[in-house]
Structure formats: structure tokens, C-alpha cells
Structure 1
Amino acid sequence: MLKKFIRYLILGLGLYALIATLVIAFYKDDPQAMIWQDRESFNKRYIEKLSLDSQTTLNTVLDYLGSPDLTFAKRDNEQVLQVIFYRTQHITSDGITTMDECTGLLFKNGQLILWGPSAYSKYQEEIR
């Protein structure tokens, strides 16, 4: 009886490990389905990993993080500037996402050129 119990226990643990491994390997996080606290930390972790060397494009960011919380864009002849904001820190529980709760990412012609607190001020300088 004890051998049968141990056999089923080992089989159950093995099956659990297999299912957990499959979920971790193949399940893609969906920012749109997350609660706001999880989405904030998901956005923050992704943005912290960005680098200018990686040739990050606007479409890459949109595919991974989903729709931005705030966005501004300006076209000047052939140049397109766009700054998008993703919420990365909670400040006020008022139900409204503001720029001070977000991290900005500035794109020039679809290529990431700057992110962080200075992204919006750089955007404003460029559109004048």
C-alpha cells in the first residue's frame, strides 16, 4: 500500500512539474488582461531593459506592452515625433492616469531615441 502511494505521489509531482514547465515556457503575458498593479511592474521591468543599441522600434514596444496610457505625436515634413507613456508608478488613487505616474518613450520616425522623465520635455523642444 505504501509503495502504491509513493508511486502515485511521484507521478503526481512529475505531472505537476511538467504542466508548470509548459505554462512558464509557452504562456505569454498579456498586459491588457493584468490588474493595474501587475501591469505597472510589467511595464517598468520592460522599460528598464531598453537600450539605444537594440534598435527598438515603436511597433516592437506596442506589440509587447500594448496600448500606451497617453500618447502625443507631431509630423513635420518627413519627420514624425511620437512620445508614448506607460504607467510605471502609482501616485494618486483617483482613477486617472497622469504623466507623473508614467514613463515616457520618445520615438523619431519609429525609432526609440529617448525614454524617462526628459522624454516629454525633449518632445516639446523638438516640435517648436
Structure 2
Amino acid sequence: MIKKVLQYIVLGLAVYAVIVMLVINFYKDDPQAMIWQDREAFNNRFISKLEIGHDKTIDDVLETLGSPDLTFAKKDDDNVVQIIYYRTQLVKSDGITTRDECTGLLFENGKLTLWGPSASVAYDKAFN
């Protein structure tokens, strides 16, 4: 009797472990469905893993992080400079997302070139 109960417990734990592994490996995070604290952490984690030299496009970022909190663009002839902001730190709990609560990602002609404070500076200087 005790042996059978132990077998069921071990079998249940094994099934649980398999389900957890499947969810971890195959379930894609949806930033739009996250509460704001989780989304900030998710955005921070993604942005902190960015590396210079990896060709990330705006489509890659949008696919992973979802819609940006703020976005701005400038165009001059054939060149397009766009900065998108994702909230990464809460400054004031007022329900409004501002630039100081976000990290900017700068794209030139669809390619990621800068992120962080230097992205905002470069965007402000673009085409001036």
C-alpha cells in the first residue's frame, strides 16, 4: 500500500517536472499581458543582454518587447532615425509613462545602433 502511494507521488512529480520544462522551453512571454512590474523587469532583462555588433532590427525588438511605451522618428531624404522607449524603471506612480522612466533604443534605417542615455542624445542631435 505505501509502496503504491510512493509510486503515485513519484509519477505525479515526474509529470509535473515534464510540464514545467515544456512551459519554460516553449511558452513565449507576452509583454502585453504582463503586469507593469513584470514588464519593466522583462524589458530591463532584454535590453541588458543587447550587444554591440549584433544586427538587431526594429522588427526583432518589436517582436520580443511588443509595442513601445513612447516612440519618435525623424526623416531626412532616405535616412530614417527612430527612437523607441520601453519603461524600465518607475519614477513616479502616476499612471503616466515619461522618458525618464524609460530606456531608449535608437534605430537608423531600421537597424539598432544605440540604447540607453546616449540614444536620446544622438536622436536629439540627428539631422541638426
Shift of residue 39 of structure 1? 0.2
Q: Pairwise mapping of residues 41-120 of structure 1 onto structure 2 (< 5 A)?
A: 41-120=41-120
2:14 is equivalent to residue 10 of structure 1: no
Share of identical aligned residues, percent?
62
TM-score scaled by length of structure 1: 0.97
In 2, Cα distance between equivalents of 1:67 and 1:127: 26
Q: Which range moved further: 80-89 or 11-20?
A: 11-20
Alpha-carbon distance between aligned partners in 1 of 2:32 and 2:5, rounded to the nearest angstrom: 43
Cα distance in structure 2, aligned partners of 1:60 and 1:93: 30
Corresponding residue for residue 29 of structure 1: 29
Distance 2:51 2:127 in 1: 24
* Structure 2 unmatched ranges of 5 or more: none
TM-score by structure 2 length?
Answer: 0.97
Structure 1 unpaired stretches of 5+: none
State the 4+ residue runs in structure 1 displaced beyond 3 angstroms: none
RMSD of equivalent CA atoms = 0.7
Measure the CA separation in 1 of the matches of 2:63 and 2:21.
24
How much does 1:47 deviate?
0.3
| Residues matched between the structures, number | 128
